[in-house]
C-alpha cells in the first residue's frame, strides 16, 4: 500500500507543520512569515526511515513534548506581544501565569475562569495525544523503496536547508525553523537577562540607600495618583482623542475657575498593557524597573524611594490600592506608614467586574477617611483602577461628592451595559469602552482636584502605561500623560522649566523623559541643599 503510506506520511507532516507555524502566523498576522517548518518534515522523515526499535514510542513522545513546548512558548510570545508589547522572556515571565489567572477570575468570575483554563488544558493534552498516536503509527519504510527514497530526499533537503538557516543563509524564502529559533531565542534571552541581573545588582550595591529631605514640600500634601491604562494614545489617537481632548479642555477651564494651576507633560513608562506596579516602582525609586525580576531585586535591596524621602521630610506615607485583594508584602517592603488595600476600605457597593470599586469612591474615601482626619502633611500614592480592562460597565460621574457615601449607590450599575464576554466579541466596541472608561477616570480625578486641591497641595496625576496593542496599534509609543496641579503656582514652575506646558493637554513632542526621572526632579527642585 505505497500510496496509503505516503498519504499518512504527508498528512502527519502537514499537521506538524501547521501546529509549529500557527503561533508565528498568529504573532505576525499573516501566512507570509513562512509556509514550511523544516523540523516537522525532518522529524517525520526520520521516523519513517527509522528501523523497528523498542524506544520508538519514547522518541515519538519526546518529539511531541518538544513540539508542544515550542507551541506553548510561541503562543505565550504572541499573548505577551498583544498584552505588553514585548517578547516573552521565560527568565522572569513564568510567574505572570498566576497574575493572568487572577485577571481572568476578576473579569469572568471564578467558575468561568476555571472553565477556560480546563478547556485550554484539555485541548493541549488532546492535541499532544493525537500527535503522539499519529507519529507512532507512521509506517516504516526502507530507503530503497520509492517512499523510502522520497523520505530520504526530504530528510536530506530539510537537513541542508536547516544548515543554511543556522548559518544565516535562507536558501528558500518560505521555510522556517520554529523549534530551533524558539529554543535559541529563549536561551539567549535567559543568558542575557542573567548578565543584566548581575549588572543591576551591582548597580544597586554601588549606590547605597540615599534619602533626600524635600524641604520645598515640607508643609504640603503631595498626592501621586496613577490612572490605569491612561496612555498618550488616549489623547493623540483620533479614535480616543475625540472623547478625551474635549474633556481635558473642559477640566482645564474648571481648574482655572477654581483658582488652581495645572501643567502637563509626557513621560515614558517602563511597561505597557499591564504590570502597572513596574511603573509605580520606577516612579517611586528613581530607577528604570521594566520587568518583574528587577522589581523584586529593588524591593529586596536598601534602595530608598520617595516614601523614604517624604518620611524624612515629616510626611505620613499612605498607599491607597483598591486593586490589592491578596496579601501585599511589597507594600511592607516599600515601608508605607499606612496601606489601604481593598479589604481596608469600607466600601458597601458591589465590585464591577475586575474593578473592586469605582475611582470616584476611592477618591472620596481618601478625602473623607484618610486626608481630612490627618493633621500632618501626607504623601499619598493612589492607584486608580476604573479604566482597567474589561472596561465595562461605564459609570457616570456623581456631581455631588456627598452622594458617594459608603458606595452602596453604585449597586444600580452592577448589571449596566454588556457583560465582558459579550463586549469583547466586538473589537470596535471594546475600543469605544476603553475611551469612555479613561474619560471617567480622568474626569473623576481632576474633578476631585477641582474641589479638594489647594495651595497646600501638590498633586501629580500620571498614567501608568499605554493599554494593550489591540487598543493602540503596534506603532504606539510608551508615553503617558502627566498633569501636575496645585493652588500654589510656584510649585509648578520647575515642571514648566522641564518642558511641561500650561493646561491639561501635554505637548506633542516625541522626546519623552523616562518615568524614573520624577524622583530625581523632586530632589533637584524641592530637595534641601546637601
Do 326 and 417 belong to one domain? Answer: yes
In a domain, 205, yes or no: no
Q: pTM higher than 0.85, yes or no? A: no
Residue 303 falls inside a structural domain: yes
Residue 150, domain extent: 2-194
> What DSSP string runs through 290-312?
-SHHHHHHHHHS----HHHHHHH
486: CB partners within 8 A, 6+ apart: 260, 261, 453, 455, 457, 458, 459, 492
- How many CB atoms are closer than 10 A to CB 456? 12
Query: Per the structure, how many domains does the chain have?
Result: 2
Prior bond of 58 cis (ω within 30°): no
Helix axes 427-452, 238-257, angle to 10 degrees: 10
Residue-level pLDDT at 74: 80
| 88 and 115 co-located in one domain | yes
Same domain for 50 and 120, yes or no, is yes
Chain centroid offset of residue 223 CA: 24
> At which residue does the C-alpha cell 519514547 appear?
58
Q: Answer yes or no: do 242 and 111 share one domain.
A: no
Q: Are 103 and 273 in contact (CB under 8 A)?
A: no
Query: What are residue 486's DSSP bridge partners?
Result: 261, 458
Residue 91 to residues 102, 162, 178, 185: CA-CA distances in angstroms?
21, 27, 20, 12
In a domain, residue 507? The reply is: yes
Residue 36 phi/psi, 5-degree rounding, is -120, 120
Q: What is the DSSP letter of 283?
A: H
User: Domain check: are 174 and 298 in the same one?
Assistant: no
Single out the residue in 165, 194, 223 at which a domain terminates. Answer: 194
Q: Report whether 27 contacts 77 (CB < 8 A).
A: yes
Q: Among 194, 227, 251, identify where a domain stops.
A: 194
Give domain status of residue 204, yes or no: no
Could you tell me if 450 and 258 are in contact, meaning their C-beta atoms sit under 8 angstroms apart? yes
DSSP string, 119-181: HHHHHHHHHHHHHHHHHHTPPP--TTSHHHHHHHHHHHHHHHHHHHHHTT--SSTTEE-HHHH
391: phi > 0 → left, psi -120 to 50 → alpha, else beta; which?
Answer: left
Closest CA to 19 of 56, 74, 57: 74
258 assigned to some structural domain: yes
* Predicted pLDDT at 1: 45
Domain match, 245 and 168 both: no
> Kind and range of the H or E element at 22?
helix 2-28
Residue 496 half-sphere exposure, CB side, CA atoms within 13 Å?
12
Same domain for 9 and 97, yes or no, is yes
- Does the residue 89 lie in any domain? yes
Q: Check residue 29 and give its pLDDT.
A: 64
DSSP secondary-structure letter at 216?
G
Instruction: Please indicate, yes or no, if residue 389 is contained in any of the structural domains.
Output: yes
Contact 476, 86 (CB under 8 A): no
Residues 28 and 148 both lie in one domain: yes
Cα 175 from Cα 23, distance rounded (Å): 15
CB distance 480 to 230 below 8 Å: yes
Strands 378-384 and 221-227 come out as parallel
pLDDT in the model for residue 95: 67
Whether 184 and 253 share a structural domain: no
Could you tell me which of 19, 182, 46, 155 has the C-alpha nearest to residue 11? 19
The answer to whether residues 316 and 377 touch, using CB atoms and an 8 Å cutoff, is yes
Q: What is the pLDDT along the chain (530 residues), one digit of tens a residue?
A: 455 666 666 777 777 777 788 887 777 765 556 777 877 777 777 777 776 666 767 777 777 788 888 888 887 777 776 666 667 777 777 766 666 666 566 555 677 667 767 777 787 777 777 777 766 666 666 666 666 677 677 777 777 777 777 777 777 777 777 888 888 888 887 888 778 777 777 777 667 668 899 999 999 999 999 999 999 999 999 999 999 999 999 999 999 999 999 999 999 999 988 889 999 999 999 999 988 888 888 888 878 899 999 999 999 999 999 998 888 888 888 989 999 999 899 999 998 888 899 999 999 999 999 999 988 999 999 999 999 988 989 999 999 999 999 999 999 998 888 888 788 888 888 899 999 999 999 999 999 999 999 999 999 999 999 998 888 887 788 899 999 999 999 999 999 999 999 999 999 777 789 999 999 999 999 987 76
Q: Are residues 218 and 136 in the same domain?
A: no
Domain boundary among 168, 194, 220: 194
Q: Are residues 470 and 323 in the same domain?
A: yes
CATH at 498: 3.40.720.10
- The string over 233-271, giving b where at least 16 C-beta atoms fall within 10 Å of a residue's C-beta and e elsewhere, is bbbbbebbbebbbebbeebbebbeebebbbbbbbbbbbb
Q: In whole angstroms, what is the distance from residue 273 CA to residue 83 CA?
A: 5
Angle at 51 between CA 45 and CA 57, to 5 degrees: 80
Q: Do 337 and 469 reside in the same domain of the chain?
A: yes
Q: Is residue 199 in a domain?
A: no
Amino acid at each position: 500500500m505505497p500510496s496509503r503510506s505516503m498519504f499518512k506520511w504527508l498528512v502527519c507532516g502537514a499537521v506538524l507543520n501547521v501546529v509549529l507555524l500557527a503561533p508565528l502566523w498568529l504573532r505576525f498576522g499573516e501566512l507570509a512569515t513562512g509556509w514550511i517548518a523544516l523540523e516537522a518534515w525532518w522529524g517525520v522523515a526520520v521516523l519513517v526511515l527509522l528501523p523497528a526499535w523498542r524506544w520508538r514510542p519514547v522518541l515519538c513522545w519526546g518529539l511531541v513534548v518538544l513540539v508542544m513546548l515550542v507551541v506553548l512558548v510561541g503562543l505565550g510570545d504572541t499573548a505577551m506581544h498583544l498584552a505588553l508589547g514585548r517578547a516573552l522572556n521565560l527568565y522572569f515571565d513564568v510567574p505572570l501565569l498566576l497574575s493572568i489567572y487572577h485577571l481572568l477570575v476578576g473579569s469572568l468570575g471564578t467558575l468561568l475562569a476555571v472553565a477556560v483554563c480546563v478547556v485550554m488544558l484539555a485541548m493541549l493534552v488532546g492535541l499532544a495525544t493525537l500527535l503522539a498516536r499519529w507519529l507512532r503509527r507512521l509506517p516504516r519504510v526502507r530507503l530503497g523503496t520509492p517512499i523510502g527514497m522520497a523520505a530520504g530526499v526530504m530528510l536530506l533537503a530539510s537537513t541542508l536547508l536547516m544548515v543554511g538557516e543556522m548559518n544565516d543563509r535562507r536558501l528558500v524564502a518560505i521555510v522556517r525553523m520554529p523549534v530551533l529559533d524558539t529554543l535559541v531565542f529563549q536561551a539567549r534571552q535567559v543568558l542575557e537577562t542573567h548578565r543584566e541581573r548581575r549588572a543591576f545588582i551591582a548597580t544597586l550595591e554601588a549606590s547605597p540607600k540615599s534619602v533626600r529631605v524635600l524641604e520645598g514640600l515640607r508643609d504640603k500634601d503631595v498626592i501621586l495618583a496613577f490612572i490605569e491604562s491612561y496612555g498618550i494614545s488616549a489623547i493623540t489617537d483620533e479614535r480616543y482623542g475625540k472623547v478625551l481632548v474635549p474633556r481635558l479642555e473642559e477640566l482645564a477651564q474648571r481648574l482655572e475657575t477654581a483658582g488652581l494651576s495645572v501643567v502637563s507633560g509626557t513621560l515614558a513608562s517602563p511597561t505597557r498593557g499591564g504590570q502597572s506596579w513596574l511603573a509605580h516602582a520606577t516612579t517611586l525609586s528613581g530607577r528604570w524597573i521594566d520587568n518583574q525580576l528587577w522589581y523584586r531585586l529593588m524591593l529586596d535591596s536598601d534602595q530608598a524611594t520617595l516614601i523614604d524621602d517624604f518620611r524624612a521630610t515629616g510626611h505620613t506615607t499612605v498607599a491607597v490600592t483598591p486593586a490589592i485583594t491578596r496579601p501585599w508584602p511589597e507594600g511592607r517592603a516599600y515601608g508605607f506608614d499606612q496601606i489601604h488595600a481593598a479589604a481596608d476600605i469600607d466600601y458597601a457597593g458591589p465590585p464591577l467586574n475586575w474593578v473592586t470599586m469605582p475611582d470616584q469612591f476611592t477618591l472620596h474615601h481618601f478625602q473623607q477617611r484618610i486626608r481630612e482626619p490627618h493633621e500632618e502633611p501626607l504623601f499619598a500614592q493612589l492607584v486608580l483602577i476604573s479604566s482597567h480592562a474589561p472596561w465595562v460597565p461605564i459609570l457616570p460621574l456623581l456631581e455631588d461628592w456627598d452622594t458617594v457615601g459608603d458606595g452602596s449607590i453604585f449597586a444600580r450599575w452592577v448589571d449596566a451595559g454588556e457583560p465582558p464576554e459579550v463586549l469583547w466579541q466586538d473589537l470596535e466596541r471594546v475600543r469605544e469602552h476603553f475611551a469612555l472608561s479613561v474619560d471617567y477616570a480622568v474626569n473623576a480625578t481632576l474633578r476631585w482636584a477641582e474641589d479638594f486641591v489647594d495651595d497646600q497641595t501638590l498633586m501629580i496625576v500620571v498614567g501608568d502605561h499605554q493599554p494593550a496593542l489591540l487598543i493602540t496599534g503596534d506603532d504606539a509609543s510608551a508615553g503617558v500623560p502627566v498633569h501636575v496641579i496645585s493652588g500654589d503656582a510656584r510649585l509648578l514652575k520647575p515642571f514648566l522649566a522641564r518642558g511641561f506646558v500650561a493646561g491639561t493637554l501635554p505637548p506633542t513632542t516625541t522626546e519623552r523623559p523616562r518615568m524614573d526621572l520624577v524622583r530625581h526632579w523632586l530632589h533637584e527642585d524641592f530637595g534641601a541643599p546637601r
